[in-house]
Amino acid sequence: MTVTLADVAARARVSPATVSRVLNGNYPVASSTRERVLRAVDELDYVLNGPASSLAAATSDLVGILVNDIADPFFGIMAGAAQSEIGGPGDGSGRAGGEKLAVVCNTGGSPERELTYLTLLQRQRAAAVVLTGGALEDPAHQAAMAAKLAKLADAGTRIVFCGRPPLPDTDAVAAALTFDNRGGARRLTEHLIALGHRRIGYVAGPLERTTTRHRLEGHREAMAAAGLQGDEENLTEHGPYDRGSGYDATRELLRRAPDVTAVVAANDTVALGACAAVRDRGLRIPEDVSVAGFDDLPFSVDAVPALTTVRLPLFEAGARAGRLAMGKETPPPGGIATIDAELMERGSTAPPSH
Amino acid sequence: MTVTLADVAARARVSPATVSRVLNGNYPVASSTRERVLRAVDELDYVLNGPASSLAAATSDLVGILVNDIADPFFGIMAGAAQSEIGGPGDGSGRAGGEKLAVVCNTGGSPERELTYLTLLQRQRAAAVVLTGGALEDPAHQAAMAAKLAKLADAGTRIVFCGRPPLPDTDAVAAALTFDNRGGARRLTEHLIALGHRRIGYVAGPLERTTTRHRLEGHREAMAAAGLQGDEENLTEHGPYDRGSGYDATRELLRRAPDVTAVVAANDTVALGACAAVRDRGLRIPEDVSVAGFDDLPFSVDAVPALTTVRLPLFEAGARAGRLAMGKETPPPGGIATIDAELMERGSTAPPSH
DNA sequence: CTGTTAGCGCATTCAT
DNA sequence: ATGAATGCGCTAACAG
């Protein structure tokens, strides 16, 4: 019923091994033979049996890309860039040659699902795994992750981090691309302070996430350097990285500290919610309250006024992670590269008017 | 080096067949035996060899979800919802039981890549494939798709469409969930006409996409019903489904037809660009020009003014597609279900002031 | 450059 | 309810 490699071999009058060789292209084959084989492949409409070849070769062409939230462009941009480097351009025939199958897996931010996906990828003998976005700081989960990643690496799976700080005790990770969240956050808050703000609220991300902590630390560094520490509790609110959370947290912040003249959000999406909360309170942006975000997602420039934020080169980072995962690029020294974050000053921040 | 099912069998003092049976859970096994086996699995930290079991069973636990643009929340929301139904909740152990591996594949809107992914999934003997978003109307590509899908279905892969019109001549597709793009677009334009608009520009999506065509047709139906047809060429502009395109197209539209009092965009992302273009020309929204979008993505309510648009239940549709792909839900009668689109009237549309 | 020979690790008959 | 035997389709030595 289903056509196998042996059928192709018979039709092309060669041995199965030869067919395998032309299909995988890693071996010298006479071009006349190759043509004969390819013709047989087309005539028979043959498609390689992936499981069989993965079993025999003890490795598959699957590459997993783990993301926390697939509906968030932050991850979508990185994943898309990585995938475009991994999947290859395709040859236009739709026939699929030696391409890898780059697939993205949505953990939803759940540590259990993260581990489950890793196990599933391990089960498939994935060629590589790219982990994007911040990590959870729970020690138990970190240990479980380190153990799992070690096992994957052991089995030959290449591990790459993208926008995630390197694991402390594991050399299983081939390369870690990490964003300068702390520095970016510091420069953003310095910008606000330079504008004259003194009471600055901070709508942070969820607790126990490295991204949350690093950005918050950068913010507080800047505050402390200006002698503005001391009221962190009133000025900080935590919540998920989504719009609704930004709205709620900002409402609460404005209630508790009505004298703030600026609100810094954990990311652009949260900042959008913050803007809405500020407006709903009858305050103008930036005249009454400045608002700033983080990431510089595509929609940020379209906010009204345009959102001051910190640009992260998500596409470039994702593409590089993809290349690293494919072994097409040599890892940075020490396996770790820090990626700069650039302050984007726009209309949503201005000097306080009172 | 790597621990196999035979190792587990030896440790549990049972035959390999028994281990296979408890792991797949489809067979009666004495519970004492089962426990012994599971203990051995944990002790040995055994992970099933996916390729081997797929080869033996002639089917894999891979489920592919194809999207046109992974960085677009339109697709991210659907894909995430589908994935959550497919991947299962996980058992919290990270051990991975009988779960499917739901993976999303980014075609970037390229027909070649779409076919390539399908071939790759065919090669993996995928259990199911979900195709999201509008299709390309190029006959050659449609034929190639139909052929490929037929082959997949033939090999036992379940095919589900989500937000894509059913293929005319194929019964390979188990179920097609299609959005009422035409009806939604019609109601949106009727809303504008009811407000008093007569000169309405339309920033359409890329040519040859079903989504583009259906939305445009709905718009024109409404225009024609009000006797407003006749200047389609001046009032229509095509471009990709992105922000920059919306900006450029709207600039051009306003230049060519400065008397328009409303602009309808192909989707919310394009509408954002349209808003920027309107403002850059010194016009106010909605006083001088009304703007409307389509999809009701999360950010649309945060636009200023909030965007009038047509809501598509993306999450619900994606979840249903996921269930359909898993065989957890019976297909709609005829295999086709049309999903309603709801008009959301918000601040970006108002009666024309001149 | 090409053919021959062995498994890869597991699911599934068929027995018991 | 469990064990023994067979083959899924392919790649990778090893020869030639």
Which residue pairs from A325-331 have beta carbons closer than 8 angstroms and sit at least 24 positions apart in sequence? Answer: A325/A63, A325/A82, A325/A85, A325/A86, A325/A128, A325/A129, A325/A130, A325/A158, A325/A160, A325/A174, A326/A63, A326/A85, A326/A86, A326/A100, A326/A128, A327/A158, A328/A85, A331/A174, A331/A175
Q: In angstroms, rounded to a whole number, what is the distance separating the alpha carbons of residues A111 and A141?
A: 7
| Tens digits of residue pLDDT in A259-298 | 999 999 999 999 999 999 999 999 999 999 999 999 999 9
Task: Give the end of a domain, one of A34, A56, A78.
Answer: A56
Q: Which nucleotides of C are covered by protein (CB under 7 A)?
A: 1-5, 7-13
| SS3 of residue B231 by DSSP | coil
Q: Is A16's CB less than 7 Å from nucleic acid strand D?
A: yes
Residue A22: what pLDDT?
A: 94
Residue B88: what pLDDT?
A: 55
Whether residue A297 lies inside any domain: the answer is: yes
Whether residue A266 lies inside any domain: the answer is: yes
Confidence of residue B94 (pLDDT cuts 50, 70, 90): very low
DSSP letter at A300 equals G
Whether residue B317 lies inside any domain: the answer is: no
Q: What is the CATH number of the domain that holds A21?
A: 1.10.260.40
Cβ distance of A49 and B60 shorter than 8 Å: no
Q: In angstroms, rounded to a whole number, what is the distance separating the alpha carbons of residues A237 and A241?
A: 12
**B260 token code pair:** 């328009």
Residue A91: what pLDDT?
A: 45
Residue B97: what pLDDT?
A: 57
Confidence of residue A329 (pLDDT cuts 50, 70, 90): very high
Whether residue A5 lies inside any domain: the answer is: yes
Cβ distance of A112 and B94 shorter than 8 Å: yes
With the C-alpha atoms ordered A52, A57, A59, A61, is the resulting torsion angle positive or negative?
Answer: negative
Is there a contact between B251 and B281 (Cβ–Cβ < 8 Å)? yes
Q: Give the number of other Cβ atoms within 10 Å of residue A129's Cβ.
A: 27
Whether residue A348 lies inside any domain: the answer is: no
Cβ distance of A96 and B123 shorter than 8 Å: yes
Q: Is the pLDDT of residue B39 over 90?
A: yes
Q: Is the pLDDT of residue B62 over 80?
A: yes
pTM to 2 decimals?
A: 0.93
Chain B residues within 8 A of A50 when measuring between CB atoms: 51, 54, 60, 120, 123-125
Range of the domain at B301: 181-311
| SS3 of residue B67 by DSSP | strand
Q: What are phi and psi of A192, to 5 degrees?
A: -65, -40
| Tens digits of residue pLDDT in B47-59 | 999 999 999 999 9
Q: Is the pLDDT of residue B273 over 50?
A: yes
Chain A residues within 8 A of B45 when measuring between CB atoms: 151
- Using CB atoms, which residue from B54, B96, B104 is nearest to A103? B104
Whether residue A97 lies inside any domain: the answer is: no
Q: What is the CATH number of the domain that holds A257?
A: 3.40.50.2300
Q: Is the pLDDT of residue A92 over 70?
A: no
Residue A98: what pLDDT?
A: 62
For chain B, the average pLDDT equals 93
| SS3 of residue B179 by DSSP | strand
Q: Considering chain B, what percentage of its residues have pLDDT values greater than 90?
A: 88
| Tens digits of residue pLDDT in A139-175 | 999 999 999 999 999 999 999 999 999 987 778 899 9
Residue A320: what pLDDT?
A: 98
Whether residue B252 lies inside any domain: the answer is: yes
Task: Give the end of a domain, one of B56, B71, B87.
Answer: B56
Task: Give the end of a domain, one of B290, B311, B332.
Answer: B311
Q: Is the pLDDT of residue A252 over 50?
A: yes
Cα first-last separation, chain B:
80
How many independent structural domains does chain A possess?
Answer: 2
Q: In angstroms, rounded to a whole number, what is the distance separating the alpha carbons of residues B153 and A133?
A: 36
Confidence of residue B90 (pLDDT cuts 50, 70, 90): low
Whether residue B248 lies inside any domain: the answer is: yes
Q: In angstroms, rounded to a whole number, what is the distance separating the alpha carbons of residues B187 and A120?
A: 45
| SS3 of residue A52 by DSSP | helix
Residue A2: what pLDDT?
A: 87
Confidence of residue B92 (pLDDT cuts 50, 70, 90): very low
**A70 token code pair:** 């697939």
- Closest by Cα among B325, B297, B81, B131 to A69: B81
Cβ distance of B103 and A105 shorter than 8 Å: yes
Is there a contact between B19 and B5 (Cβ–Cβ < 8 Å)? yes
